Amino acid sequence: MSCRLSVECLTEIFEFLEKDKVTLHSCLLVNRLWCRVSVEILWRNIWNAISPSSRLSRLRISSISSRILSTLVACLPNESRDFLLMNGVFISNSKSPLFNYPSFCKVLSISVLINDNFYKEFFETQNSITSINSRDRNYMVAQELLKMFMKKISSLKKLTDEKIIYYYHDDNDNNFDYGKMTNFLNSFEARDCLQNLSELRCSSNLDPDFCYQLSQICKNIKSITIEFKYSILHGISHLIFSQNGLKSLTFIQHSYYNYSSNYQIIQDILTKHSNTLTKLDLNGEWPLSILTKFPNLQVLSLSFSDGLDLKTLQFVSLLQLRILNMKLGYFKTESITFLIKFLENNGKNLKEFYINICNNSINSAIAEFCPNLRSLYTQFDKGDSLKEILKDVNNWKALKFYVVMIMIHLLDIWEEMKC
C-alpha cells in the first residue's frame, strides 16, 4: 500500500525549496496535491518572478508579467468583470483557474499593479478594441485587482511600492497616481487583510492620503524600509510614527536627496521608536549621531560611498549589538581611529562582522576587541593580521570566514595555526 504524505508534511518539506523555483516548478507536475502545495509557495511573492534578481531578459519578464496578469484576471469575480465591461474594458473569457491564486499571496506590490508596463503585453494579445485610453483602462483593472486581493488574502504580510521590474528605469512618477488607488482601503475586507501587516517598503514621497488611510488600519508594522528620493511628506512620517513596537528600520538615501531639509521629522520618527528598534540599516550620508538613540540595537548596517565623517562613532555605545555590516566607500584616513574606538566599545558581544576594506589596523582591532565572532568578512594584505584574529578569537575553529586574501597564502597560515 502506498503511503501518501499529508498536506502539512509536504508544505513543511517544500518550505525548504522556497528559493529554488526550478525544483518547485518540477513539483507542480507530480500530482494535484503536490501542485497545490507548490503553487501556494510560489505565489506567496509572485512578484519575485519579475524582479531584477531573476536576471531575465526584458522580453522574458514582459511575457511572465502577462501570464501573471492573465491568471489574476481569470480570478476576478463576475461583478468586477461586469464593471470593467460597462466602462469599456473588454477582456476575453478565460478558463476557470485551478486554484484561488490571489489567496496565496503574502506580498503585494502596488507599484507593479499600477504601472502601465505590467499591462502592455497582456492587452496587446487581447486584440480588443477599447473606448478608453490605456492609462485609464489600466487603473480600472488595477483597482479591481486590488479589491480582489483585499477580499481573498486573509492576512497580508508585506506591502511594497518599490519598482521591482527592472525596465522601469525612467523613474517617471506620472506612472504612480495613488490618488486614484486609495478607494480599495475603504472596505471592511481591506481592514481584515491589512491589520496584521508586518513589513512595508515605500518611498518618502508616498501619497499622503494613502499613508493616512493605511495608518488607520496598520498599527503593528515591525519592519519599514524607506527610499528617500525627494522631501519626506508628513503622510509617511505619520504612518511610521503611528506604529507600535517597530523592530527594523531601513533608510535608503538617493544621491539627490538632502536629509537636512527633513532632519527634525526624521529625529522625531527615530525618537518614537528608540526603545523598540533592534535593527537599523542606514544607506547613504546619514548623521551617525542618531545611533545614540537606540540602546537595544542588535543589528547595524552602514553603507556609504563618500567621505562620511565617522567621528561620532567613537562616542556610540551599543551594548546589545550582535551583527555589524559596514560597506564603506571612500572615507577619511583619520576615521580609522574612530572606527577602532567603536570596536573597542562594542566589539565584545559581536557575533557577525562584515567590513569591505583592507586595513591592517582595523584587522588588528578585530583581533583585540572582537573575541566572540562566529562569522567574519574582511580583507587582508598581510598574514600577520589573520594570525592575530585566529589566535585571539574564542573557539576560532567555529568561526566562518569570508575573507579576501591579497598576496598571502591562506592555506599555509591555516595549517600553521592548526599545529
Q: Are strands 400-405 and 223-228 parallel, antiparallel or unpaired?
A: unpaired
Q: What is the pLDDT along the chain (419 residues), one digit of tens a residue?
A: 345 777 888 888 888 887 777 888 888 888 888 888 888 989 998 888 776 655 666 777 788 888 898 999 999 998 998 888 888 888 777 778 888 999 999 999 888 888 788 888 888 777 666 667 878 888 888 899 999 999 999 999 999 876 544 444 444 444 455 555 667 788 888 889 999 999 999 887 778 888 888 999 999 999 999 888 766 667 888 888 899 999 999 988 776 556 666 667 777 777 888 889 999 998 877 778 888 888 899 999 988 766 566 788 888 889 999 999 988 776 667 778 888 899 999 999 999 999 887 778 888 888 889 888 888 888 766 555 566 655 655 555 555 554 544 434 444 545 555 55
The C-alpha atoms of residue 260 and residue 266 are separated, in whole angstroms, by 9
Distances (CA, A) of 248 to 49, 231, 280, 375: 26, 22, 6, 21
Q: What is the pLDDT of residue 330?
A: 65
Q: Are strands 107-109 and 158-160 parallel, antiparallel or unpaired?
A: parallel
The C-alpha atoms of residue 238 and residue 226 are separated, in whole angstroms, by 13
Q: What is the pLDDT of residue 227?
A: 84
Instruction: Centre a 10 Å sphere on the Cβ of residue 12 and count the other Cβ atoms it contains.
Output: 12
DSSP assignments along 289-357, one per residue: GGGGG-TT--EEEEEE-S----GGGGG---TT--EEEEEE-S--TTHHHHHHHHHHHH-TT-SEEEEEE
Sequence-distant (≥ 6) Cβ neighbours of residue 414 within 8 angstroms = none
Distances (CA, A) of 66 to 74, 118, 170: 12, 7, 21
* Prediction pTM value: 0.82
The C-alpha atoms of residue 73 and residue 90 are separated, in whole angstroms, by 12
Indicate the length of the chain as a whole number.
419
Residue 100: left (phi > 0), alpha (psi -120 to 50), or beta? beta
Question: Rounded to 5 degrees, what are φ and ψ at 223?
Answer: -135, 125
Q: What is the pLDDT of residue 362?
A: 85
The C-alpha atoms of residue 106 and residue 103 are separated, in whole angstroms, by 8
Q: What is the pLDDT of residue 218?
A: 92
The C-alpha atoms of residue 20 and residue 25 are separated, in whole angstroms, by 9
